[in-house]
Amino acid sequence: MSKAGAWTRWRAGWLFPALVGLLGVAILLSLGLGAVKVSPARIAALLFDPGAASGSEATILWQLRLPRTLLAAVVGAALAVSGAGFQGLFRNPLADPFVIGASSGAAFGAAVAVLLGFDVAVRGLSPVPVAAFAGAIGAVSLVYALAGLGQTASAGTLLLAGSALGTMLSAMVSFLMISGEQPWLHILNWMLGGFSGRSWLHCRIALPPLLLAMAGLWLLARPLDVLVGGDDAAQSLGLPIRHARLAIVAVASLATAVSVSVAGVIGFVGLIAPHIARLLLGGGHRRLIPASALLGAILMVCADALARSVLAPVEVPVGIITALLGGPFFLFVLRTRGPRFT
């Protein structure tokens, strides 16, 4: 722990408050932007003065934007943290939250639910997210079992099994969508992801497991650090590799599955937020994970605000914005800072 360590510590000292501040600004922006624009002063009045809270502005703010923004922030954070976890676990910079089949599993679950006609909302909650969650967890468990992780298999086997099962499941989703023309729009919309129409109910259901999963992965920061050094090194340090892997996969997959079921498949955030965090703060997961969470939240909140406002009153699927917004920025960072994945 030499000069570099001190440098990172010093940087972390101002970076975390700066990221929190940025997230605050992003949330304020998100609350103000959309088909109806609300000024910051008015937002404050509507949020803190119950007397002012009536009319369509208040409804839009309280019942639509606030839950939606909150959900976007937490889902963005969870995807980023899960991405950081998988990248560390697989020592692979291309890993993202969907790398071992969570997204295709969720899509399959959702497609089956829609095709069987289980897509009618009951009290504002549709069975589709539940099916998606089951699909995601099912796919990941299957991949884990198939890879025979406890025995001989390396992280590489897990990755390959995930990719194979993912391809199979996508083919099945495509088949289902073609054989039944009717509901493809619903399925496709769901797969593209977004926060339109998300309510406090979704927040109440999704936030606790997401926050728990993020905390869990943060607690696994130390094993992650060790695993990044390679299996042999980890073994020589006495880490129970098998248990550590299982714990990381379980927690990261929980975060992914809940995110996907509540917001659909939103790409890119889970891939690039951890990379940006790594470039800013280095590879230590104790800092990497909270920094990824903040960056993921900022990115997702901004993307959702733009999705609502660029073409208002038309709404753009948020995944398009995350890719359009995150892609160039990520390439710029890569170009100026160079790849530093360790």
Partner 1 sequence: MRAGCHRPVPVGSESEYAGLPAPNNFIARMKAVASGARLPGAVFRFLSPGSLLIRFLLCWMAVACPFARAAAPATGDGPPFTFSDRLGRTITLSATPQRVVSLAPSNTELAFAVGAGERLVGVTTYCNHPAAAVDLPKIGGFAARTISIEAIVALKPDLVLAGDRNQRAVVDALERAGVTVAAVQPRGWTEIQETMRLLGRIFGTTETADRLIGSANARLQAVAARIGTVPPAQRVRVYWEVFDEPLMSAGPRSLIGEAVTLAGGVNIFADLKEEYPQVSVEAVIARDPQVIIGPASMRQRSMSLEALRARPGWALIAAVRDGRVVILPDEPVTRAGPRFAEGVELVAKALYPALFPDAGEETSP
Angle between helices 318-337 and 269-281 (to 10 degrees): 30
Decide if 244 contacts 223 (C-beta within 8 A): yes
Of 337, 262, 326, residue with least CA distance to 80: 326
SS3 36: coil
Q: How far is the CB of 90 from partner 1 (least distance, A)?
A: 13
Compare residues 141 and 199 and give the one whose CB is closer to partner 1: 199
Residue 121 binding partner 1, by CB under 8 A:
yes
Return the DSSP state at 150: T
Asked whether position 92 contacts partner 1 by CB under 8 A, the answer is no
Contacts of 160 (CB under 8 A, 6+ apart): 147
User: Residues 32, 194, 283, 296: which binds partner 1 (CB under 8 A)?
Assistant: 194
CA distance 260 to 263: 5
> How big is the site for partner 1, counted in residues (CB under 8 A)?
63
The one among 18, 20, 24, 182 contacting partner 1 by CB under 8 A? 182
Residue 124 within binding range of partner 1, rule CB under 8 A: yes
Q: Rule CB under 8 A: say whether 329 interacts with partner 1.
A: no
SS (HEC) of 298-309: HHHHHHHHHHHH
Q: With binding defined as CB under 8 A, does residue 52 bind partner 1? A: no
The binder of partner 1 chosen from 47, 52, 60, 334 (CB under 8 A): 60
Centroid of chain to Cα 21: 21
| Least Å from the CB of residue 85 to partner 1 | 16
> Can you tell me whether residue 125 is helix, strand or coil?
strand
Which position among 189, 215, 329, 340 is part of the footprint of partner 1 (CB under 8 A)? 189
Distances (CA, A) of 301 to 65, 89, 231, 297, 311: 11, 27, 37, 6, 17
Question: Is 133 a binder of partner 1 (CB under 8 A)?
Answer: no
Site for partner 1 in 197-216 (CB under 8 A): 197, 199-200
The packing angle between helices 285-309 and 200-219, to 10°, is 160
Residues forming the site for partner 1 (CB under 8 A):
34-36, 56, 59-60, 63-65, 67, 94, 96-98, 103-104, 107, 117, 119-121, 123-124, 163, 166-167, 169-171, 173-174, 177-178, 181-182, 185-186, 188-192, 194, 196-197, 199-200, 265, 267-268, 271, 308, 312-317, 319-320, 323-324, 327
